[in-house]
Chain A
Amino acid sequence: MKLESEPQMPLSPHVGRAAFTMVPIVRIREENPHVKTFFFKHDLLAKPGQFVMLWQPGFDEKPMSVAFSDSKTKEFGLAVAKVGPSTEHLFGLKKGDRLGVRGPYGTQYSLPQKAKHKRIIMVGGGFGSAPLRFLTEQAVSLGFHVDFIQGARSEDRLILRKDIQQLGAHLHVATNDGSEGVKGLVTDVLETLLSSNKGRYDAVYTCGPELMMQAVGRLSEAHGVPCQVSVERYMKCGFGVCGQCDCGGILTCVEGPVMWYADIKKNPEFGSFHRDGSGQKHYFK
């Protein structure tokens, strides 16, 4: 199955895509003790599922998936979890600080063109809900009924709940410790939805830990519903030259991150291992 990706760059002059644009932070919103959404003034023209490379001058550069991209306000937003030195540095920045952005890169989630039921499911694990919020916005505007399953370790790890609900999606929460919603896994909720509404969903979209996405893909497939996943690999260039993000012969940055589960399930590395910045393998546990 073919995914819609960015149009091919014209040969020359190529403008901007591999170069940084310096963009100011216009707003910072605290989502929970671990996550902040940073809004930047820049018409990014991103599609749901795509990512950018964000450069903190003097520090480092990291790939980030896009949670908001609005051409009307000419703003985009990244929901960022504090997980290491780079994001810790970012959390210390304030409104007006300028950062470098390049992109958007990668494939996007594609909504069913000829939807029979106009009903879809999002399954976000942890911070994976961020790009799915963006997809929900697009889906709702096209008249889709969206069931949004969000899973997290505990209540204080949930993100963007208000945004998702304000869009009109039906939010289902699962937490490992039961501090909010169903105590259990996102797949428990997914199983309930798929079996109680048999044959009434057009597609499932998921983003989160790889083993969770694999389980979501399997479950969707068992119910005859196509599923798209968002594969994460170590990235350096973001535009298909360095090869660092290879996943079993697929360049995740240009042939992904969004892929059909039906395609990626055959990949020998999906759900098995990923590589670090040197290229050494690390197995998923």
Chain B
Amino acid sequence: MVDLSNNFLGKTAPNPTVLASGFMGVTGLSMASAAKHGAGMVTIKSLSLQPRKGHKTPVIVGFDMGMLNAVGLSNPGVEFGVEELKVAKKAAKVPVIASVFADTTENFAKAAAAVMPAQPDFLEIDISCPNVDSEFGIPFAADPKSATDVARAVKKVVGSVPLIVKLSPNVTQIVPIAKAVEAAGADALNCINTLKGMVIDPIARRPVLTNKFGGISGPALKPVAIRCVYECYGAVKIPIIGTGGVTTGQDAVEMMMAGASAVGVGSALYYRGLDAFNLIATEMKDWMKKEGFSSPKDLVGLAHGQ
């Protein structure tokens, strides 16, 4: 018998899939819809202290092996976002992950404190968005010291709510960053955010996205994410949400074998529609049954030491 229910830092989810931040999670009811369609946990689109419109369109475009986006962290601000989180907590019936970002360490702590009244099951900090360099400078996730400062400051205000730090693949070495945030008190990692890229339209003779650069997601990102999760799993003790290009149940199995305890899903919504979560979970179950596994936890890190 295969039971997909998955324990992540003491919370039980119906399966290992997680609605990744930035997908569908603009509203509480949308997060609930993702849960209804099979998401094991759901993450809100990252909130900041002030409302943000994001970048000018086009902000997302497909290419043959994935998609590129630079939405630019649009969000209604924590004041309104915290209400959406409350809606999600009530309606989603699965663990809810709050997500915040900010321009300074101090504002990270303020934004984190502002979402606490919604009593999220977890708090994720997005220190790794690749699309706001011109505004915010180099992401906190690019430097162990900056990443440590943010994680430490946020940890102080979240009380017993576990802290997840979302790391960036846009670094020469991810392991020192992972170790640094673990030492700073992070309870879990989310590996990874999108990989910085560009798509140019030859006829238009210019980059397609108004922001020029964007973050690669979808199938093209998967091997990068698998590698990052694999490297971090070998270096830290805290659990990892593996995010990047997971589109099928077999992709999810691969991600867990690399070391993920839960699996982020986002661009798969495009490839497989709203049912992506259900499809991935069902395919995982079928695969596990065929291969003789009974619980997702038995897959975690299995590719290590082989």
B2 at the interface (CB under 8 A from A): no
Tell me, yes or no, whether B146 is within 8 Å of chain A by CB: no
A251, B57: Cβ atoms closer than 8 Å: no
Stretch binding the partner chain, chosen from B70-78, B136-144, B231-239: B70-78
Name which residue of chain B comes closest to A268, CB basis.
B29
Chain B binding surface SS class: loop
Q: Does A17 sit at the interface, judged by CB under 8 A?
A: yes
- Expressed in whole angstroms, the Cα–Cα distance for A248 and B27 within the complex equals 8
Which residue in B24, B54, B65, B74 is a CB contact (below 8 Å) of A251? B24
Q: Provide the bound-state CA to CA distance between A243 and B37, in Å.
A: 14
Number of B residues with CB within 8 Å of any CB on chain A: 54
Q: Which residues of A contact B80 (CB under 8 A)?
A: 279-281
Q: Nearest Cβ distance between residue B143 and chain A, in whole angstroms?
A: 29
- What A residues does B219 contact at CB under 8 A? 12
A50 at the interface (CB under 8 A from B): no
Once the chains bind, are A277 and B26 in contact (CB under 8 Å)? no
Smallest CB gap from B202: residue in A: A22
Binary flags per residue of B21-37, CB closer than 8 Å to A gives 1, else 0: 01111110110110000
Q: In the complex, A244→B30 CA distance in Å?
A: 9
Residues on B with beta carbons closer than 8 Å to the beta carbon of A53: 58
Please report which residues of chain A, range 75-134, place their CB below 8 angstroms from some CB of chain B when the two chains form the complex: 98, 100, 102
B30 touches A236 (CB 8 A): no
Pick the contact of A240: B81, B205, B270 (CB < 8 A): B270
Contacts A249-B32, A280-B51 known; A240 to B269 CB distance under 8 Å?
A: yes
**Is A14 positioned at the interface, with any CB of B under 8 Å from its CB?**
yes
Contact B26 A11 (CB under 8 A): no
B274 within 8 A of A: yes
Q: Assess A60 versus B24: contact at CB under 8 Å? Given A241-B267, A277-B53.
A: no
Q: Let me know if B62 and A14 touch, CB within 8 A.
A: yes
A19 at the interface (CB under 8 A from B): yes
Q: Which residues of B contact A55 (CB under 8 A)?
A: 57-58, 204, 208
Decide: B274 and A254 in contact? CB cutoff 8 A: yes
Once A249-B29, A249-B32, A278-B54 are accepted as A-B contacts, the answer to whether A100 and B201 lie under 8 Å apart by CB is yes
> For B81, what are the chain A residues with a Cβ–Cβ distance below 8 Å?
279
B62 adjacent to A19 (CB under 8 Å): yes
Contact yes or no, A239 B270, CB < 8 A: yes
CA distance in complex: A53, B77 (Å): 27
Residues of A contacting B270 in the complex (Cβ-Cβ under 8 angstroms):
9, 14, 18, 237, 239-241
Contact between chains at B62 and A18 (CB < 8 Å): yes
Q: What residues of chain A lie closer than 8 Å to B51, measured between beta carbons?
A: 278-280
B65 to chain A minimum Cβ distance, whole angstroms, is 8
What A residues does B267 contact at CB under 8 A? 241
Interface residues in A4-34 (C-beta closer than 8 Å to B): 8-9, 11-20, 22
**25 A-B contact pairs sorted by A residue (CB < 8 Å):** A9-B271, A15-B64, A17-B62, A18-B62, A22-B203, A55-B204, A57-B204, A57-B205, A100-B201, A236-B54, A236-B59, A240-B269, A241-B270, A242-B26, A243-B24, A243-B26, A244-B74, A248-B29, A249-B33, A251-B24, A268-B29, A278-B74, A278-B76, A279-B51, A281-B76
**Besides A11-B272, A14-B64, 20 other A-B contacts (C-beta < 8 A):** A14-B62, A14-B270, A15-B64, A16-B62, A18-B62, A62-B57, A236-B59, A237-B60, A239-B270, A241-B267, A242-B69, A248-B29, A249-B32, A249-B33, A249-B91, A251-B24, A277-B53, A277-B74, A278-B52, A280-B51
